[in-house]
């Protein structure tokens, strides 16, 4: 493992731990105020944050595991631990949403007309505000490191917390409206709205993790960028074909067939492919690149030149 990758992994671990700590505090605060006030929307937010906490713990351990060097049993590395983590986190969000909807529906079917304590209501509004502020900071940090390190586990965790921001604001608004109108039904309606937002986030995370687990190719933008980097060197080779890509957590895999002049030496072909790999890794530092060199036999000239279609 290079020193750069080691530093990136340590940065990922510290950021994941920050999420665990912040979620722990928020869960405790929300449950205390939610049960004291008897608010299903605050309790639903506490359940949501509890799922966020569990997801953060999973993300923390998956980030640590994915950072381990390849071994005899995992010769391509441990990157897919993060993809599995993302899938588990998405399932947890779905479960949280179902629990919230169930609790809200029960409140609608058996409404309580006991007025909420105004002081506790304002305490609930304050807790939701604190939650939104803390999660804004932590999710921004998570997303920044996730993009920097190409970590799906941290990105999933960041999206968890971003949904928590929106739902906290929704609950805060609902409590304020209850204070203004005295309509307790609003509490359950807001809780159901929270659950629907959560389910949408869960679906997006599920699809992203699923694509990694089934070796779905990289995005059109990423493939286009890889192609353009290869095409920057087209004066040094005859053609290329068979470009394939996939992702495993923070790691990406690129392989292609490169057609070179049949008269060049093995040393020259090796030097050129090394140069091409270095250029690709400037853009994709976590890439594992495999280049299969073929001699030009004439038939390759008849194949489509992919560089004619690159940006």
Same domain, 249 and 204: no
Residue at which a domain ends, from 172, 191, 213: 213
Residues in the chain: 311
Whether residue 25 is predicted with pLDDT greater than 60 in this model: the reply is yes
The pLDDT score that the predictor gives to residue 280 is: 92
Q: Please indicate, yes or no, whether residues 140 and 262 belong to a single structural domain of this protein.
A: no
Question: Could you give the number of structural domains in the chain?
Answer: 2
| Among 291, 265, 250, 240, CA closest to 68 | 250
Query: CA–CA separation, 211 vs 217, rounded Å?
Result: 8
Contact, 104 vs 40, CB < 8 A? yes
Q: Are strands 287-295 and 251-260 parallel, antiparallel or unpaired?
A: parallel
**Residue 268 sits in a domain of what CATH number?**
3.30.70.1350
Judged by DSSP in three states, 239 sits in strand
CB 33 within 8 A of CB 42: yes
Place of tokens 């203004």: 180
Is the model's pLDDT at 2 over the cut of 60? no
- Beta bridge mates, 251: 248
- Say yes or no: 191 and 76 in one domain: yes
pLDDT tens, residue by residue, 122-167: 888 888 888 889 889 988 888 888 877 777 778 777 877 877 787 7
Mean pLDDT across the chain: 79
Compute the chain's Rg from CA coordinates.
25
CB atoms within 10 A of CB 69: 10
Mark whether 183 and 259 lie in a shared domain: no
Domain limits for position 13 = 3-213
Does one domain contain both 137 and 15? yes
Q: Is the model's pLDDT at 29 over the cut of 80?
A: yes
Q: Is the same domain home to 181 and 226?
A: no
Contact in structure between 256 and 234 (CB atoms under 8 Å) = no
**Per-residue pLDDT tens for 100-130?**
788 778 777 876 656 666 777 788 888 888 8
Look up the CATH number of the domain holding residue 65.
Answer: 1.20.1510.10
Residue 291, beta-bridge partner list: 256
Q: Which pTM does this prediction carry? A: 0.58
Report the relative pairing of strands 239-248 and 251-260 from DSSP bridges.
antiparallel
């Amino acid at each position: 493992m290079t020193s750069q990758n080691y530093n990136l992994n340590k940065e990922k671990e510290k950021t994941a731990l920050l999420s665990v700590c912040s979620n722990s505090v928020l869960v405790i605060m929300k449950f205390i105020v939610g049960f004291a006030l008897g608010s299903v929307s605050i309790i639903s937010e506490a359940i949501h944050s509890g799922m966020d906490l569990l997801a953060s713990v999973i993300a923390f351990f998956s980030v640590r595991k994915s950072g381990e060097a390849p071994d005899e049993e995992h010769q391509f590395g441990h990157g897919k631990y993060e993809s599995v983590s993302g899938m588990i986190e998405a399932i947890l969000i779905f479960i949280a949403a179902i629990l919230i909807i169930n609790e809200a529906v029960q409140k609608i079917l058996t409404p309580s007309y006991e007025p909420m304590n105004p002081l506790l209501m304002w305490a609930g509004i304050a807790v939701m505000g604190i939650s939104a502020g803390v999660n804004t900071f932590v999710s921004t940090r998570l997303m920044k490191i996730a993009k920097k390190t190409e970590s799906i586990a941290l990105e999933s965790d960041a999206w968890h917390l971003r949904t928590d921001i929106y739902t906290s604001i929704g609950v805060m608004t609902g409590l304020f409206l209850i204070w203004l109108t005295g309509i307790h039904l609003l509490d359950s309606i807001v809780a159901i709205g929270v659950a629907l937002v959560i389910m949408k986030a869960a679906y997006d995370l599920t699809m992203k993790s699923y694509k990694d687990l089934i070796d779905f190719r990289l995005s059109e933008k990423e493939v286009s960028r890889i192609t353009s980097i290869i095409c920057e060197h087209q004066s040094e080779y005859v053609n290329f074909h068979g470009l394939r890509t996939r992702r495993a957590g923070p790691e990406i895999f690129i392989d292609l067939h490169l057609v070179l002049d049949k008269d060049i030496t093995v040393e020259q072909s090796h030097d050129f492919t090394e140069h091409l790999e270095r250029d690709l890794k400037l853009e994709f530092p976590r890439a594992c690149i495999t280049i299969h060199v073929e001699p030009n036999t004439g038939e390759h000239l008849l194949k489509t030149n992919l560089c004619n279609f690159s940006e």
